[in-house]
Structure formats: structure tokens, C-alpha cells
Amino acid sequence: MNVLVAGGAGYIGSHTVKRLKQAGHSPVIYDNVSRGHKEVVDILKVPAVIADLNDRATLVRALRDYKIDTVMHFAAYAYVGESVEKPLMYYHNNVATTVNVLEAMREANVSRFVFSSTCAIYGDPDKIPITEDEKKAPVSPYGRSKLKVEQVLADAADPKAWPGFSFAALRYFNASGCAMDGTLGEDHDPETHLIPVLLQAILGLRPGLTVFGTDYPTPDGTNVRDYIHVDDLADAHIKAMEKLQPGKPIYCNLGTGRGFSVKEIIATAEKVTGKKAPVTYGPRRAGDAIALYADPSRAKNLLGWEAKHKDPEAIIRSAWNWLKDHPKGYGKR
């Protein structure tokens, strides 16, 4: 299929472009590179349109010129703290811009859509592992913006509204790791994900890592999260794309089904790198859940997808392999 990857120069989008190529599809990157990286385009060697998704004329032209069959949408802002400080920016980019994408798709007669959603739509769940039927109660503008898009998609998929439209909403847990062959990596500014922050601290690129809370009711007192390799996420998007059918919306959690504590991740990083992590321990941080991990059984049953990389050592090793060769990110060594 011909696939327009919105946000294809970003972290998850770029890895998905790579996996799409490997699976025999024809991806096209569409990105304004405000938070992505132009260097990714050169690495992946696929067609790219460097433009904003709100540029309707350019977007419609790209959809038509490249004879796009499916749009995969990764182009969202994704910092929880920033969303609290700048909620209108998040609603504009994550919700209003997505509506513009859908309108452009309709104009260009493209009716297949795979949406990058998030486990943040669940907020603080009543029980774990988290199933897709868990209550939707996001606690940040970021999570609410993603839930609003899911609601928009459900309304748009009404046959009276848009005959033939089909979509998948894939709810990620903690995206982690880098391409196994070392060609692509994780390069955010600022970086907030635990694994790259930890590895940067080990490399001396930041002063250290603070762990917030050691008195949680978990085996070692630290928070537990579900870390899923970015290549596994990418593969799930391809599986979902291939399963799209009008009238059959797809909602799936993407995780490994296992949780690992912060201390377990630190110990694994020290094992992979052979270096001691500069860690300090502080009090709990407001808003942090005790444990969050997925029940991924629906994705297995519906998509025929299951995470291949369930061992945090493999995930961390892939991140280390990229970061130690690219300590300052893309285009810099």
C-alpha cells in the first residue's frame, strides 16, 4: 500500500516508515520537522513532503500525487507537563489539526486511517492489567486531546457521515528502544523518557537521574510500567492497517503485558552498559500512578500481533547501541 506517515520524521513515525519499507509497502513522510529530524529523511531514503498538516492544499496534493491508500498519524505533541502549561496548543495541534487531516483525506478520497493514541486516555485505572474496556478518564490535556480524537473518529466512521471510512486507534504504553540495526534512534528535546534519560546520565550527558518515590506498594517500592519496543509498535500499525474495514473500528492496547519497576530498568541499564548509573532517590511526584501495564490480548486476537521484545535488556541494548554512537542525537556525533 501507499502510506502517508504524518510525523514520519519523528521517533515512532520514523521507525514505522522503516518497517513499512521492509514489509513491502511504499511510505511517504509528511512532517514539518518542528519536532522531527530532517536527517531521518536521508537515512530512510523515501519520498518526503516537508510541510505542515494545516497546509490543506499541500496535504491534499500529496495524498493525490502519491496515490495514498492509508494515512498513519503520529504528528502529535506528547509532553504531559507541557500540555498542562499550554493546553490550547495541545488541543489545536492534536485535535484541530487531526480534523484538518481527516477533511483533506475526504477531499482526496482517502478513507483509511491509523491513529497513534495513548494509554493516557485511561488516567488512573481501577485495575491492571488495563483492558480496552477500562474507563476513559484522562488526567492531562494531552490524554484528553487523544481521547477527543478517538471520539471524532468514531463519529466520522458513522456510515451516514463518511461512507467507507475505516480507522484504528492504537493505545501505546511506554514506547522504548531504537532500531535493532542502529540506523534510527530516539532524539527528543527535552528528553523525558526513562530509558534514554538513564542512558544519557550514564554517558555523562546529564548530571544524573532522580527517581521519584521508593515507597510505592510494589516489590521494590518504585513505579512499574510497561515498556514496549518501538519496532513492535511499528509492526502493530502495519497489522492494523491491513485489518481495516468500514464499520469495524479497531481499538487496541499496545504493550507487552508485563510491568517492570524503575529499579529493574536501572539495574538492567547498568548490566547492558557495564557502568554505574548516577541515581538519586526523592519523594513521590504528584500524579504518578503506582503501576500501569497493558492487557494486550485484544491486539493478539484481532490483529495477530504480539510484542517480540518483552525483555527489557533487549530494549535497553538497542537504545544503548544507538545513543553511544549518537550522544547528541541525529546529525551529530
pLDDT tens for 228-249 read 999 999 999 999 999 999 999 9
Q: Which of 236, 254, 272 is the last residue of a domain?
A: 254
* 34 and 141 assigned to the same domain: yes
Phi, psi dihedrals of residue 286, rounded to the nearest 5°: -55, 135
Of 186, 299, 285, nearest to 253 (Cα)?
299
Q: Quick: pLDDT tens for 112-154.
A: 999 999 999 999 999 999 999 999 999 999 999 999 999 999 9
Of 115, 114, 119, nearest to 80 (Cα)?
119
* Omega before residue 246 within 30° of 0, cis: no
| CA–CA separation, 113 and 101 (whole Å) | 10
Phi, psi dihedrals of residue 305, rounded to the nearest 5°: -115, 140
Q: How confident is the model at residue 288 (pLDDT cuts 50, 70, 90)?
A: confident
* 146 and 266 assigned to the same domain: no
Residue 169 lies in a domain: yes
* 123 and 210 assigned to the same domain: no
Residue 32 lies in a domain: yes
* 152 and 9 assigned to the same domain: yes
* 120 and 264 assigned to the same domain: no
pLDDT at 333: 45
* 3-class DSSP assignment, residue 158: coil
* 67 and 200 assigned to the same domain: no
Going along 110-229, which residue ranges are E strands?
112-118, 166-172, 174-176, 209-212, 224-225, 227-229
pLDDT at 138: 94
The residue with cell 497493558 is: 294
The residue with cell 529530524 is: 37
* 74 and 160 assigned to the same domain: yes
CATH number at residue 92: 3.40.50.720
What letter represents residue 283's amino acid? P
* 141 and 54 assigned to the same domain: yes
Q: Quick: pLDDT tens for 248-273.
A: 999 999 999 999 999 999 999 999 99
* 139 and 219 assigned to the same domain: no
* 240 and 274 assigned to the same domain: no
Residue 114 lies in a domain: yes
Q: What percent of the chain has pLDDT over 90?
A: 97
Full residue range of the structural domain in which residue 100 is found: 2-173+227-254
**What average pLDDT does this structure show over 164-171?**
98
pTM to 2 decimal places = 0.97
Residue 331 lies in a domain: no
**What average pLDDT does this structure show over 20-35?**
97
* 3-class DSSP assignment, residue 71: strand
CATH number at residue 270: 3.90.25.10
Spot the catalytic one: 11, 91, 122, 142.
Answer: 142
Residue 276 lies in a domain: yes
* 74 and 207 assigned to the same domain: no
* 248 and 268 assigned to the same domain: no
Q: Quick: pLDDT tens for 50-85.
A: 999 999 999 999 999 999 999 999 999 999 999 999
Please state the domain count of the chain. 2
For residues 147, 240, 247 and 113, what is the CA-based torsion angle, rounded to 10 degrees?
Answer: 60
Of 49, 16, 79, nearest to 239 (Cα)?
16
The answer to whether residue 227 is catalytic is no
Is residue 289 pLDDT above 90, yes or no? no
Length of the chain measured in residues: 333
Q: Are strands 70-73 and 112-118 parallel, antiparallel or unpaired?
A: parallel
